[in-house]
Homo-oligomer: A and B are copies of this chain.
């Protein structure tokens, strides 16, 4: 990209410099949800139309966009900006679990929904957060694991099918 800019798009390089340095100066982490924002408190945390009793923990800002696209969630968020990954030297300090603890025990939050990925690191992160928050008397839940909507048994991997079977639930009326 650097070679391309130097050789063929020096004007574009200037625009990029401008944009990046502006971003460096204005973009910060929201003091409440840890997402990227230009104000100290982001728009979502500042909104009065969100349900403050629910706190959804996710790994990245991209995951927050995905959650919002479902239009099924009206609560607050906490963005970890990563996941536990001991092999890469990322422990509880690096993903700021202390700040999550402060956020979750603010007296308003009643339920913490763990929506980290269903990868090994995401599951370990969810487990660690659950162990951290459950003793504080908070209701800690995990989003469901199973067969995707529209999925056919024949094309689902056997690990997912085994989990779906294990986590079966009574049919509703």
Question: What is A's interface to B at a CB cutoff of 8 Å?
Answer: 58-60, 62-63, 66-67, 69-73, 113-115, 117-119, 122, 126-127, 130, 134, 139-154, 156-171, 173
- Which of B60, B71, B153, B157 interacts with A63 by CB under 8 Å? B153
**Nearest chain B residue, comparing its CB with the CB of A112:** B171
Give the residues in chain B near A58, CB-CB below 8 Å: 153
Taking a contact as CB atoms under 8 Å apart, the answer to whether B143 and A145 are in contact is no
Most buried by B among A66, A126, A149, A150: A149
Taking a contact as CB atoms under 8 Å apart, the answer to whether B141 and A144 are in contact is no
Taking a contact as CB atoms under 8 Å apart, the answer to whether A171 and B114 are in contact is yes
Taking a contact as CB atoms under 8 Å apart, the answer to whether A151 and B118 are in contact is yes
Known: A144-B145, A149-B159. 4 other contacts (CB 8 A): A142-B171, A143-B146, A144-B166, A148-B156
With contact pairs A142-B168, A144-B167 given, residues A151 and B117 touching in the complex (Cβ less than 8 Å): yes
With contact pairs A60-B154, A156-B148 given, residues A67 and B161 touching in the complex (Cβ less than 8 Å): yes
Shortest Cβ distance from residue A94 to the other chain B in the assembled complex, whole angstroms = 20
Shortest Cβ distance from residue A155 to the other chain B in the assembled complex, whole angstroms = 9
Taking a contact as CB atoms under 8 Å apart, the answer to whether B171 and A130 are in contact is yes
